[in-house]
Amino acid sequence: MTIQNPENENPSEPWLTYNRALVVMAHPDDAEFGCGGTLAKLVNNGMELAYVVCTNGNKGSNDLTMTSDRLAVIRESEQRGACSVIGAREVTFLGYGDGELEASVELIGKIVREIRKFKPDIVICQDPWRGRHNHRDHRNAGQATFDAVYPYARDHLHFPEQLESGLETHKVLEIYATMTENPDVIVDISDSIHHKINALKEHKSQIGDPDALEERILSNTSELAKTHGFEYAEGFRRHTFSFGRAPTPKTQS
């Protein structure tokens, strides 16, 4: 995998030294739209990947005959299909209603639980500080995830009931924020672009014409890539924590 930092002429490839990634997103399909090519690339390079989806996406429909309850079931099934295409090991649904997400201590605690359980080296989430307006669930999911990583997941006095149930504190090494307007890490997804597209096509309730979707994805990812010498790319803002621990060991098969 080739990862470039636009400000660094000789970029390192930090993700290649890690073993586990947790992606936390507001809605079903957010991960695939934002960074599906990168997620597939990480899995193909041997990384263990898990998903946390905060809301059930039960409002995202133009079908006037659709109900919220039925849509929630559909979107969970679609997300499971997309995770299978990407190669994720597991997916956890937190079950909040679409448009109802708050960056609350309750949400932070649920994300902390998943961090302490899966013990990721890196966490991928939505950028809560985009310069222009975006979906409030995206902002709140991103903010809650940043807060969950630091300080909550690290400190034993936050959510001590989790420790009493057998979980341990955990230090995430890096956060990569997707759906950002100011990426400082550019990932070459030329070898995994079709994993991204095929995963998105699992979200049939959301995408409309699949051929038009494919054309749009190819156009958007090639636009970012062309100034970096790639065919297709995705961008992130990288946030590093100086916790000084080794990567989490891989699960023994």
Quick: pLDDT tens for 203-243. 999 998 999 999 999 999 999 999 899 999 999 999 998 76
Q: How confident is the model at residue 17 (pLDDT cuts 50, 70, 90)?
A: confident
Query: What is the separation, in whole angstroms, between the first and last Cα of the chain?
Result: 24
Instruction: Round to whole Å and give the CA distance between 198 and 192.
Output: 10
Tell me if 82 sits within 8 A of 32, measured CB to CB. Answer: yes
* Local structure of 172: helix, strand or coil: coil
* The token pair that represents 137 in the structure block: 């669930």
Q: How many CB atoms lie within 10 A of CB 252?
A: 4
pLDDT tens-digit readout, 146-162 = 999 999 999 999 999 99
Residue 11 has pLDDT above 60, yes or no: no
Mean pLDDT of 9-25: 74
Write out the CATH class of domain 3-11+18-240.
alpha beta
Average pLDDT over all residues of the chain: 92
* The token pair that represents 66 in the structure block: 């659709």
* Local structure of 166: helix, strand or coil: coil
pLDDT tens-digit readout, 27-70 = 999 999 999 999 999 999 999 999 999 999 999 999 999 999 99
* The token pair that represents 169 in the structure block: 């504190």
The model carries a pTM of 0.91
Tell me if 14 sits within 8 A of 165, measured CB to CB. Answer: no
